[in-house]
Amino acid sequence: MAAFCQADASAAHKLEVLTAQIERQPEQQLLLRRARVYIDNNQPTMALRDISTAETLGDPSAVCYVYGLLLYRQGDYSAARRQFNCYLKLHPEHRSSLDYRARLLRDAGEYDAALQDYRRLMSIDNQLAPGYYLSMARILAAMPAYGPEAALLAIDERMVEIGPVSSLQRYAISLEVEQGDYPAAIERLSTLDPKLRATPGWQAEMAELQLLAGRFDDALMYITLAREQLQVLKKTTAHQQLTAELEELTLNLEQQRRSDQETHQK
């Protein structure tokens, strides 16, 4: 609650300062800055008023980004996209416009165009958060012209640059599993953060992958490790759920072992 109050107070202070500046000398950029504060503070009517006024105080295309942001927040994605297009014609490397347009294109299923925007973003800023690379990898995996292999390559190239990233590696693991490359998935899971690898949840994940790979003894070892860790931990809802998952995993292990033995006896 305190955080919300601080945020409201900060917005109110920004609005007070900007309003005083605009009253002294109304300028397009000042109005657009105040419109941004209104947008962030969920006051779309006030934001639109400032955008409309700003449009009359200079180059009308200068308002396109802020207007696009307002429309995006209101869920009018088609109109927002037109505004981002407008702004990017003047400022082709404007990061936020590229970011929002890439999302719009991705969500509309226009993967080729979205991919171009994500790649342009990455060429502009090499310090982008992993989420951008995850979005690009998902697009690549969904495109017949590229597919999971290209997605995995993009993930691995990024991790060579910045080191292992759990969110990227987990998505890569899911792709490896979808393709039936369980040894590769096991190898990737083993590279996750050491703190994660010390948890019973990680042991259970590894047991499941070992079972998929047909490595029954290894699967049992990881199930046993997970159970031992759970015994000394506080009984929470999550831990109880994990215990149930381990029971199911054990049953699957026993069934697959019997099936494998029967196959070899024939």
The answer to whether the CB of 262 falls within 8 A of the CB of 221 is no
Task: Specify the DSSP class assigned to residue 57.
Answer: S
Query: One-letter amino acid identity for 260?
Result: D
Render pLDDT for 246-260 as a digit per residue (tens, 0 to 9).
999 999 999 999 888
Q: What's the CA gap between 210 and 164, in Å, rounded?
A: 22
Render pLDDT for 98-108 as a digit per residue (tens, 0 to 9).
999 999 999 99
Q: What's the CA gap between 210 and 124, in Å, rounded?
A: 41
Q: Please, where are the H alpha helices in the chain? A: 2-24, 28-40, 44-55, 64-73, 77-90, 95-107, 111-124, 130-142, 148-162, 166-178, 182-189, 194-197, 200-212, 216-231, 237-265
Residue 8 has pLDDT above 70, yes or no: no
3-state DSSP assignment of residue 208: helix
SS3 of 71-89: HHHCCCHHHHHHHHHHHHH
Q: What's the CA gap between 84 and 105, in Å, rounded?
A: 11
Query: What pLDDT score was predicted for residue 9?
Result: 65
Neighbours of 21 (CB within 10 A): 15
Render pLDDT for 146-161 as a digit per residue (tens, 0 to 9).
999 999 999 999 999 9
Residues in the chain: 266
- Name the band, by pLDDT with cuts 50, 70 and 90, for residue 77: very high
Q: How far is CA 2 from CA 11, 12, 15, 42, 142, in A?
A: 14, 15, 20, 19, 43
5 vs 143, which has greater pLDDT?
143
* Percent of the residues in the chain that have a pLDDT greater than 70, as a whole number: 96
3-state DSSP assignment of residue 30: helix
- Name the band, by pLDDT with cuts 50, 70 and 90, for residue 1: very low
Render pLDDT for 213-234 as a digit per residue (tens, 0 to 9).
999 999 999 999 999 999 999 9
262 vs 205, which has greater pLDDT?
205
178 vs 164, which has greater pLDDT?
178
Residue 266 has pLDDT above 70, yes or no: no
Average pLDDT score, the chain: 92
